[in-house]
Structure 1
Amino acid sequence: MPDDIHDPGRKRPNGALEADILAALHRAGTPLTAGEVVDRLSRRLSYSTVVTVLSRLHTKRLLDRAQRGRAYAYSPATDESGLAARRMQGVLDELPDREAVLTHFVANLPAADEHLLRQLLAADAADAADTAPTAEGRD
């Protein structure tokens, strides 16, 4: 088992620590304090490292938190698919050419995923048409 406390020079991939902590919170199914997260992680991390990551995830609005005694208890703001969608939105928000990103994304989708995406977009368009104001309802 990796021992991050005693190997401070060990470089983790970007986001790996956040992903581990988010996964622990999802598995828990209930809000956890930083100390409880430390206890549930498969790797040894310092309490202060976990507090820092939890705070950053809360700032990114990926976690909700509530006061529990003198500490905060954290829970995921959404389920795993919602988190993935937020990450995808974040990538789009970071890059200036959204059309190019989306074009490459769709071009590289497997056929079944592209079909599913087209179905979802068609259903969304139909929902929008159903809720659009009619000519009689406009002033």
Structure 2
Amino acid sequence: MTRPLGTLEQSVMDRLWSWSQPVAVREVLEDLRRDRMLAYTTVMTVMDNLHRNGVLTPEKDGRAYVYRPAVTREQFTAVLMGDVLAGSANTTATFLHFLEQMPPAEVASLCAALDGHEKNAPDPTP
């Protein structure tokens, strides 16, 4: 089960998801310090926790490590949504209530994506 990210974890991941290359803890720290003062060890611990939870992947770069997201923002969010739906007694009703909260244009886009997905799915009949 994936859990929602905490505030600092979300700030770290927002940066990593927006950057297109692996980054060192120091780079993340410097960017975060534009909003608030944090210790290097705090950011390092958060990034290590994100690695242990499968959200970040470390790579050795000289004597240090750089990190990249192990999953996209969309993949992470999909897992969270799946966990929430799995916790419901009636996943269909829960999902329909979710759809009721979405703007009509987004519901239409979702329906179009589902139609395209169904057309590309393999035929279940032999």
- Which category describes the TM-score, using the shorter chain as reference length? 0.7 to 0.9
- Aligned residue for 1:75, secondary structure, equals strand
- Aligned residue for 1:25, secondary structure, equals helix
TM-score by length of 2: 0.75
Larger Rg: 1
Whole-angstrom CA distance in 1 between matches of 2:22 and 2:31: 13
Q: Tell me which amino acid in the other structure corresponds to 1:132.
A: D
Alignment pair present for 1:127 and 2:124: no
Whole-angstrom CA distance in 2 between matches of 1:54 and 1:120: 34
Whole-angstrom CA distance in 2 between matches of 1:100 and 1:133: 26
The CA RMSD over aligned residues, in Å, is 2.4
Equivalent of residue 64 in structure 2, options 66, 71, 75: 71
Question: 1:37-78 deviations in whole A, cap 9, x for unaligned?
Answer: 112212221122112211222233222221223332111224
Q: Tell me which amino acid in the other structure corresponds to 2:109.
A: L
- Aligned residue for 2:54, secondary structure, equals coil
How is 1:1-139 mapped onto 2 (pairs within 5 angstroms)?
15-41=6-32, 42=34, 43-93=36-86, 95-97=87-89, 98-128=91-121, 131-132=122-123, 135=126
* Higher RCO (CA-CA < 8 Å; seq separation 6+): 2
Whole-angstrom CA distance in 2 between matches of 1:133 and 1:85: 25
Whole-angstrom CA distance in 2 between matches of 1:120 and 1:77: 25
Whole-angstrom CA distance in 2 between matches of 1:106 and 1:22: 26
| Unpaired runs of at least 5, structure 1 | 1-13
The percentage of counterpart residues that share the same residue type is: 33
Q: Tell me which amino acid in the other structure corresponds to 1:22.
A: M
